[in-house]
Structure 1
Amino acid sequence: MTREFREDIIADVKRDFAARVEARRPYETQWRLNMNFYMGNQYCTALPTGEIADVKRDYYWQEREVFNHISAIVETRQAKLNTVRPSLTVRPFSSDDGDVKTAKNATKILNSACDRLDVDALLTDGTMWSEICGTGFYYIGWDARAGLEISDGVFEGDVCASVVPPFEIYPDNIFAQNVSDCRSIIRARAVDVDELKRVYGKTVQPETSDVIGLSSAAVGGGLVANSALNKLAPTVAEHSAVLIERYVVPSSDKPDGELAVVANGVLLHYGALPYINGVDGRREIPFIKQASLVNAGCFFGASVVERSIPVQRAYNAVKNRKHEFMNRLSMGVMAVEDGSVDIDNLEQEGISPGKILVYRQGATPPRMVDMGSVPTAFDTEEARLLNEFTKISGVSEIMRSSEAVSANMSGVALQLLIEQDDTRLSLSAEYVRIAARDIARHILRLYKQFGSDSRLARIAGQNGQVELVRWSASDISSDDVIFTTDNELLSTPAMRQNMMIELFKMGLLSDAEGKMSETQKHRFLEALGYGGWDSDIDLAQVHVSRAETENLKDAYKINEFDDHELHADAHVKYLLSECPTGKKAERLKAHIKEHRAAIALTAAPEQSTAPAARQSTATA
């Protein structure tokens, strides 16, 4: 690579980045305004230049308290969306037994990787950004220095994942709907120069890096009260440089795409896109987008915060003007003739109980001005604005205050209101599910690309057992990750438990005699979340666990203490789900016949004693 070529690349990246900064500026202004209102700095406004400026008081006595409903709305929405954690599985490439087996192994590998990366925490952080700014992003890459150390300074590597704020993402087309619709994306952020030296091995001189930080904003309260709140304000990062990474998708002249990394005039890296993370072995941009609400024809999504800002401003104004009116009623407004009293003394001390008010002889005595009462329009407007919060945000009083609107509300009506709230959030919840699925697909594709060496993974199996699985890239034949559960907001655990109880009351879980077997009882309590509720169920779990252990063995032997019904069901389930072949399947079928023979032998004495019992009863 010649010097002229490097300089051309650096100049092109810097010119491209400057153009994208200007194109994205209006969206960044809105994000900063959203974050200020979320943190409580609600006496600010956006200037035409894109800066956020504080709004000053008009009068020293003006009430400027903040009644922050936006933070409560965001926290409630995020609490509901954090329950959305879909169960994912890998769909086999075909119905062949080998593909089915490798798909099950890939599902185990995926679950182990998600536990190690703590994908739940990633989704929580990403949802926070999407709820406040409208969009959050995830970066899924490969860390060559992660994993076990193979030799001196050489590691096996592993997948790495992180949450990327929208402030760091610059698409080439602001009107593209998804990441896949963009031809290139730039990620820019301030990074310490020592970290750049460690990662890229090149020295970069520090530069002035404008970043967004927190500072204190004194917004005040009223006559004498003041309150200090955090606000988002530009600041300067020390000993750092702006790291610009430009990802370009493959094209006819660049079939593997392009990745150029520049920092303060230094080309740190130039080459192809590093990851085969797309469909059918294609190289794609390693970012995953999660929106709160989609803006049609726009790359960045919308947030309920920006919709709630006008209502929040009006609510603060109504509450503060109401309190100012009440201050006038309680403290009073006095009319005094000029020169009749000592104004300074009256202004400092007021009219205290028992005070002797001296005024000039012949003058009009001071009097209190009748201010009337607080107009009812304040209460009406306050209630209307609270209702406006509910309509805009989709978060009702039931969700925010965790109590029913009316004490006389029936359980059916309360359940209908809760379902309506969940329906409003189901769209945002679906975007969380899609992001979790795309994260899983990227993880599997990176393991398929880089996991050529044999690896060990700790897998949490059933009944709390932990197993070690040895695998490599050849064990991942499919990266088609699908959902195995419905939207968690539309089918909550409480709803599923109520349905199970209703099925039990209807007798659909019992046999012809109206009884439940031990196996059915064990599964019923496990579905309700009480799998280890009592000692009998604990014993059933031990039997099932022992039977599952026997499924992995080549020799089977009946124990006299076995619960033959539980063992037979576990063996049949393994036979149908895992589809073993050859001699192992034949031995397992014979073992199941032994359990069923033991069940029949146990039931035979009971049947033989029944006629004798009836005969003795008849004789008596």
Structure 2
Amino acid sequence: MKKKGNEKIGKEREKSIAERFAEELVEEIKEDFKERQQARRPYELSWQLNMNFLAGNQYCSVAGDSLVEDEKTFEWQEKQVFNHIAPVYETRLAKLSRVRPKMTVRPFTDEDKDVNSAKLAKKILESCSEKLSVNGIIDKGTMWSEACGTVFYKIVWDKEKGVKIKSDDKVYTCGDVSVSVVPPFEIYPDSSVCADLDECKSIIHAKAYSSAEVKEIWGADVKGEELKVFSLDGGVSMGGRSYNKTAPGVTEQVKKDAVLVIERYTRPTKQNPDGELTVVAGDVLVYSGPLPYRNGTDGERDFPFVRQVSILWAGCFWGVSMIERLVPLQRAYNAVKCRKHEFLNRISMGVLAVEDGSIDTDLVDGEWLTPGKVLVYRQGANLPRLLSSGSVPDDFNLEEQRLLAEFLQVSGVSEFMRNSKTQTGLTSGVALQLLIEQDDTRLAVSAEQIRGAIKTVGQHILRLYKQFATAARLEKVVGDNGSIEVFYFSGSDISSDDVVFETENDLNETPASRKSMVMDLLNAGLLSDETGRVSPTNKVKILEMMGFGNWETAQNLNQLHVKKAERENLRMTEDVVPLDIDNHEIHIDEHVRFVISGQAAQTGRETEEAVLKHIRLHKAMLSDLPLKTEEGA
């Protein structure tokens, strides 16, 4: 009895120590989060200002630790917005939306096994990209990076996704990769002077969830509270004399029944080789353990984030948005236009000069001098008259044109790119092409950031499949011929995650330029054989390059023979017999490759002997073809 009592006391003591450790860890993480929040505050205000100017709320500014609205000083004062930031933003998005390079995987070695594994990894990337709509995710992320300067992609393994399997009256899910866009408002690095994620020792992802979501995801009962979050509010008023309108603005709103979830990721060290992930929901510690994903180089554990910036800023973790450079110009342009309109109002409505006591001013203050109004003035007094306001000074027009030209210089978006309008007298095709290339040069830095992010996301996807896809999985992908190709794979089949791009410059490539390039290659004779004829295979490729797809979705005959030979390699033990319609040369090459690469021997000695026997049959039928041809003649 005494021994059992001691065991009970020991368990209670361990539980008390664990609870005290959890409380201390929660307090430490919350304190760390507050410090990072305060250090990131200046950048956060800049993002809010950018998004307000983009949305049309351009009468606001940063004052101290918050954004303040600029109110009108006088009732007659114009407060209009002439938004030139939005067209620049939309033009950059339209150009950057072309940056969708096609990913492929470079094999680890030149052995057939590694080459086939790289081909399989490429199919996995294509299937996953289509399944997750990666292009749409990149579009959404680019919207954030162009507005705020920085965006992040979070690549995790979601156990609730994937194919559902029913066994013993229970439903199991295989899990699958999940890619989501994380705005910069949710990321808190340990230092804002780190050049990139690789230099960060730890990073915090903080997001507001509802209490029900916390219960569903982490299984913790946490009481919700009121939290301040950023949202788009349409209550900002502006306008001119006698009319008003509202514009959306980014402000802090209160979200009810919300729980702040703080995820702190700590990079692996010599003392802690697996790193650390700590998740705090409200005041509750819901997880503390090693980093869950081996998504780093050589199977190391790393952060599940990928950073994408619009413009790099030397010595800073956060990127720069083009909007930041346009804000002063937009303020000046709004001021010039509003002062110009106020001057026009003064000219059109006029300023009435009257002799003191000659008229009842109360009668004209409300309606002023409306058309047809009878103006009564005291007999013997001087006739009221309108003061001459002159004309609008040319300085207004000159300043307006100068600011418009400066918009183009600072943003790098030319008039040709934004308005699809060339300069007067510019008709040379070479000059137009040079102008397009100059426009694309200003976007090259942002385009390379997108390409780098896509490449890293692809590497994360392959590494997660390699870690978690322990059982065979069925996926499908659209083949080169437009047909649906179904394949099986598991994590052990992925030997390389060296993702590279098949295309170099996506900005300059348009349907028109691609067709022009193909026609130049045809005229140069580079796509024809020695006799000057274009082979059927090249004809199919030419149609694909020109955007017509595979003509009538007809598969190339040689490719069909290759696929048939590959299928035969997998079932050689079934005494597969060559057919008269087989292209024996192609079949022999594929079967010989299957034997030389060692794949046949790995399957078994019986399979290897069956393949060799099958090759002899093909050679015999190939040697009989000339005899049959002569007999037929």
**Amino acid of the residue matched to residue 19 of structure 1?**
E
Q: Is the 8 A contact 2:481 2:553 kept in 1?
A: no
Separation of aligned partners in 2, 1:230 and 1:254: 47
Q: Which residue in the other structure is 1:132 paired with?
A: 147
Q: Which residue in the other structure is 2:36 paired with?
A: 20
Separation of aligned partners in 1, 2:237 and 2:135: 37
Q: Is the 8 A contact 1:550 1:556 kept in 2?
A: no
Q: Which residue in the other structure is 1:29 paired with?
A: 45
Q: Which moved more, 1:346-355 or 1:523-532?
A: 346-355
Within the candidate set 309, 312, 315, 1:291 is matched to 309
Q: Is the 8 A contact 1:547 1:571 kept in 2?
A: yes
Matched, 1:243 2:261: yes
Q: Alpha-carbon deviations, 1:525-582, whole Å to 9, x = none? A: 22211245xxxx43864646644543434365455xx9x9xx98x8899799999868
Within the candidate set 318, 329, 337, 2:347 is matched to 329
Separation of aligned partners in 2, 1:135 and 1:380: 36
Matched, 1:166 2:184: yes
Within the candidate set 220, 223, 227, 2:241 is matched to 223
Q: Which residue in the other structure is 2:545 paired with?
A: 527
Q: Is the 8 A contact 1:556 1:591 kept in 2?
A: no
Within the candidate set 69, 82, 89, 1:54 is matched to 69
Q: Give the direction of change, closer, same or farther, for the CA distance of 1:75–1:539 in structure 2 (3 Å limit).
A: closer
Q: Alpha-carbon deviations, 1:280-332, whole Å to 9, x = none? A: 11111111100001111111110001111001111111111111111222222
Q: Which residue in the other structure is 1:4 paired with?
A: 20
- Helix, strand or coil for the counterpart of 1:288? strand
- Helix, strand or coil for the counterpart of 1:389? helix
Q: Which residue in the other structure is 1:406 paired with?
A: 424
Within the candidate set 453, 464, 479, 1:461 is matched to 479
Q: Which residue in the other structure is 1:262 paired with?
A: 280
Separation of aligned partners in 2, 1:240 and 1:352: 56
Q: CA deviation at 1:408?
A: 4.3
The 5 A counterparts of 1:361-372 are 361-372=379-390
Q: Is the 8 A contact 1:426 1:487 kept in 2?
A: no
**Amino acid of the residue matched to residue 235 of structure 1?**
Q
Separation of aligned partners in 1, 2:363 and 2:416: 52
Matched, 1:346 2:364: yes
**Amino acid of the residue matched to residue 125 of structure 1?**
K
The 5 A counterparts of 1:143-158 are 143-150=158-165, 151=167, 152-158=170-176
- Helix, strand or coil for the counterpart of 2:225? coil
**Amino acid of the residue matched to residue 286 of structure 1?**
P
Q: CA deviation at 1:124?
A: 0.7
The 5 A counterparts of 1:166-185 are 166-185=184-203
Q: Which residue in the other structure is 1:613 paired with?
A: none
Separation of aligned partners in 1, 2:149 and 2:589: 46
- Helix, strand or coil for the counterpart of 1:227? strand
**Amino acid of the residue matched to residue 181 of structure 1?**
E
List gaps (5 residues or longer) in structure 1: 606-620
Q: Give the direction of change, closer, same or farther, for the CA distance of 1:503–1:153 in structure 2 (3 Å limit).
A: closer
List gaps (5 residues or longer) in structure 2: 1-16, 569-576, 598-607
Q: Alpha-carbon deviations, 1:192-233, whole Å to 9, x = none? A: 111111121121111221111222234321111111111111
Matched, 1:119 2:137: no
**Amino acid of the residue matched to residue 402 of structure 1?**
S
Q: CA deviation at 1:460?
A: 1.4
The 5 A counterparts of 1:56-75 are 56-75=71-90
Q: Give the direction of change, closer, same or farther, for the CA distance of 1:240–1:76 in structure 2 (3 Å limit).
A: same
Aligned length: 591
Matched, 1:313 2:341: no
Q: CA deviation at 1:28?
A: 0.4
Q: Give the direction of change, closer, same or farther, for the CA distance of 1:525–1:85 in structure 2 (3 Å limit).
A: same
- Normalising by structure 1, we get a TM-score of 0.89
- Helix, strand or coil for the counterpart of 1:226? strand
Q: Is the 8 A contact 1:40 1:230 kept in 2?
A: yes
Separation of aligned partners in 2, 1:126 and 1:572: 49
Q: CA deviation at 1:251?
A: 1.4
Q: Which residue in the other structure is 1:280 paired with?
A: 298
Q: Is the 8 A contact 2:591 2:615 kept in 1?
A: no
Within the candidate set 202, 205, 222, 2:220 is matched to 202
Separation of aligned partners in 2, 1:245 and 1:52: 28
**Amino acid of the residue matched to residue 317 of structure 1?**
A
- Normalising by structure 2, we get a TM-score of 0.87
Q: Is the 8 A contact 1:207 1:264 kept in 2?
A: no
Separation of aligned partners in 2, 1:596 and 1:36: 77
- Helix, strand or coil for the counterpart of 1:237? strand
Separation of aligned partners in 2, 1:62 and 1:372: 20
Q: Give the direction of change, closer, same or farther, for the CA distance of 1:594–1:428 in structure 2 (3 Å limit).
A: farther
- Helix, strand or coil for the counterpart of 2:240? coil
Separation of aligned partners in 2, 1:539 and 1:17: 56
Separation of aligned partners in 1, 2:39 and 2:311: 21
Q: Give the direction of change, closer, same or farther, for the CA distance of 1:496–1:400 in structure 2 (3 Å limit).
A: same
Q: Is the 8 A contact 1:572 1:592 kept in 2?
A: no
Separation of aligned partners in 2, 1:399 and 1:459: 36
Q: Give the direction of change, closer, same or farther, for the CA distance of 1:517–1:262 in structure 2 (3 Å limit).
A: closer
Q: CA deviation at 1:492?
A: 3.9
Q: CA deviation at 1:459?
A: 1.8
Q: Which residue in the other structure is 2:566 paired with?
A: 552
Q: CA deviation at 1:502?
A: 2.0
Q: Alpha-carbon deviations, 1:246-271, whole Å to 9, x = none? A: 10011122111111111221111111
Separation of aligned partners in 2, 1:314 and 1:588: 84
Q: Give the direction of change, closer, same or farther, for the CA distance of 1:223–1:145 in structure 2 (3 Å limit).
A: same
Within the candidate set 104, 125, 128, 1:89 is matched to 104
The share of aligned pairs that are identical, in percent, is 47
Q: CA deviation at 1:407?
A: 5.7
Q: Which moved more, 1:284-293 or 1:382-391?
A: 382-391
Q: Which residue in the other structure is 2:552 paired with?
A: 538
Q: Give the direction of change, closer, same or farther, for the CA distance of 1:357–1:201 in structure 2 (3 Å limit).
A: closer
Separation of aligned partners in 1, 2:624 and 2:536: 16
Within the candidate set 41, 52, 59, 2:57 is matched to 41
- Helix, strand or coil for the counterpart of 1:77? helix
Separation of aligned partners in 2, 1:575 and 1:5: 63
Separation of aligned partners in 1, 2:589 and 2:359: 97
Q: CA deviation at 1:416?
A: 1.6
Q: Is the 8 A contact 2:238 2:247 kept in 1?
A: no
- Helix, strand or coil for the counterpart of 2:238? coil
Separation of aligned partners in 2, 1:378 and 1:255: 65
- Helix, strand or coil for the counterpart of 1:423? helix
Separation of aligned partners in 2, 1:436 and 1:209: 34
Q: Which moved more, 1:217-226 or 1:309-318?
A: 217-226
**Amino acid of the residue matched to residue 6 of structure 1?**
A
Separation of aligned partners in 2, 1:270 and 1:134: 32
Separation of aligned partners in 1, 2:304 and 2:64: 34
**Amino acid of the residue matched to residue 64 of structure 1?**
K
Matched, 1:437 2:455: yes
Q: Give the direction of change, closer, same or farther, for the CA distance of 1:278–1:589 in structure 2 (3 Å limit).
A: farther
